[in-house]
Amino acid sequence: MRKTQKKERVSGGEFRKKTYYILLSESRLVQRCSLEYKKLYVRGCIMKKKLLAIGLAAMSFAAMLAAPMAISLKSTFGEANSATSNAPQFIVNSAQTEKTIPLFAEDSPVVKFVENYKKYAVVDYFVPNERVDYPEPLTLTWEDTAGATYYEFEIGFKEDLSDAKSYLVMGNSIEFSDLLAAKTYYYRVTAKGGAQTVRSRIFKVNTAAMPRTINVPDTLNTRDVGGYFTVDGNYQVKQGMIYRGAKIGADGVDTLLNTYGIKTDLDLRGADGNVWVNNQIGGTPLGSDLGDSVNYILTKCPWYWGGTSGVASSDQTYRDGLLQSIQALAVKENYPMYLHCSVGRDRTGTLVFLLNALLGVGEKDLFMDYEFTYFTGAVTDQGSIINAISNFSTLYTNVATYNSAKTVQEGAEKFMLDLGVTAAEIAAIREIMLEAV
């Protein structure tokens, strides 16, 4: 590419503190540096050398932003603004902007399951002994005619990019993982260091409304509890607040602590002789697998509706365990939290159902969220899946009609009040977990 020796003003002179990420042309984030500029002027070739030098001195960093994808995407930027009025009109090109993209590979059975969902649909899409719910990264690529030597890529949730994160990219692509579900991202590319500094207009890309899974090594069934919309369409359950899953594997500790910032380990396995300790059944956990830096809450939580271990059980230890679990959700300081049992299906599925029902999530999404567990490879036959969904259906029906309730949300609230959860605690849970849309 052609380099220029003409002095350029980078992004208009005054700079607030930003964190930048330097990438290789293969879209791999390799280094991070934090730079604070005051009226910075640079030559294109000098800027490139300085950025690379700082990148090599900085510690290695893995780029993340908020949910998964297996798509390579191009966005068309139309005409760009040139830095000099009499200069040629340079273009930054791509394709497929303003599209809605899935959080998984387009040919994934997970995507087909969500798009064609009906109750018990998972038996037609799950893959025995294989986990197929892994998120995929999203790669955004672009082309330009300005002969750029590097780019500034900005992305955020606000249309004016006032909340944007900025990335310096040595190449024409950038990869993101952990995108949030059912959100609109706004982004812009500025080509620098070439014949001109060329800024594209702002474009947007939408993520699909589907469960947001997260990749935690050595730990199954991990996903965000949030992302669903309420029946009235006025609210969305916040993401990044509660993550659910199975027992924590040793290799997953760093990810949960440092990537997702977990503050509370809500362990539903309780002291009932049916917990995993050192990969064997029996005994009581001696503390959180995440270590002493987190708040550890151990409860004996029931699962499904009836029997001696259901939420309707007369066993006071189960009732107390469920009460304690729900009360933990009303404490703002407990977030973000990791909520789990052994495989993240029965006890975890029951508590997550009660929570999302209380928040106003509808019947279809409540069932789909429960069935999503069976993409983890933990179950190998359709019969056991059908039986478990039947148990969940019984739970749903009893909560939805509890004490003459007209909706599952009303039933969940009445049930919790009878359990001993206070109205103030219910209000706190809704305040913490819901955002207006």
Place 403 in a pLDDT band, splitting at 50, 70 and 90: very high
Decide the pairing of beta strands 8-9 and 41-42: antiparallel
Are 167 and 99 in contact by the 8 Å Cβ rule? The answer is no
Write out the two tokens for 286.
Answer: 């001696």
Which residues, at least 6 apart from 371, have a Cβ–Cβ distance to it below 8 Å?
113, 119, 120, 121, 122, 389
CA distance 349 to 313: 17
Beta-carbon count within 10 A of 418 CB: 11
- E strands, 136-183, in order: 138-141, 143-144, 150-156, 165-169, 173-176
What's the CATH code, domain 223-436?
3.90.190.10
Write out the two tokens for 227.
Answer: 């992302």
The reported pLDDT for the residue numbered 98 is 78
pTM, full prediction: 0.78
Name the residue among 138, 155, 73, 75 with its Cα closest to residue 103.
Answer: 138
Residue in the structure block whose two tokens are 């999503």: 372
Note the pLDDT tens digit of each residue in 163-204.
999 999 998 889 988 999 999 999 999 988 877 788 888 888
The reported pLDDT for the residue numbered 432 is 98
Are 69 and 179 in contact by the 8 Å Cβ rule? The answer is yes
Q: What is the mean pLDDT of the chain?
A: 79
pLDDT at residue 301 greater than cutoff 50: yes
Q: What does the domain layout of the chain look like in residue ranges?
A: 1-212, 223-436
Return the SS3 of 332.
helix
316-328 helix and 346-359 helix, angle to the nearest 10 degrees: 50
Mean pLDDT of 379-391: 90
The reported pLDDT for the residue numbered 194 is 75
Beta-carbon count within 10 A of 206 CB: 13
CA distance 333 to 315: 30
Note the pLDDT tens digit of each residue in 112-134.
999 999 999 999 999 988 889 99
CA distance 345 to 326: 17
Place 84 in a pLDDT band, splitting at 50, 70 and 90: very low
On the 0-12 / 13-18 / 19+ scale of CB atoms within 10 A, 294 is buried
CA distance 61 to 59: 6
Residue in the structure block whose two tokens are 């975890």: 348
Higher pLDDT, 376 or 282: 376
| Domain 1-212 top-level CATH class | mainly beta
Are 266 and 340 in contact by the 8 Å Cβ rule? The answer is yes
Note the pLDDT tens digit of each residue in 220-269.
999 999 999 999 999 999 999 999 999 999 999 999 999 999 999 999 99
The reported pLDDT for the residue numbered 89 is 46
The reported pLDDT for the residue numbered 13 is 28
The secondary structure of residue 178, as a DSSP letter, is B
Write out the two tokens for 395.
Answer: 């739970």
Note the pLDDT tens digit of each residue in 93-115.
554 467 888 999 989 999 999 99
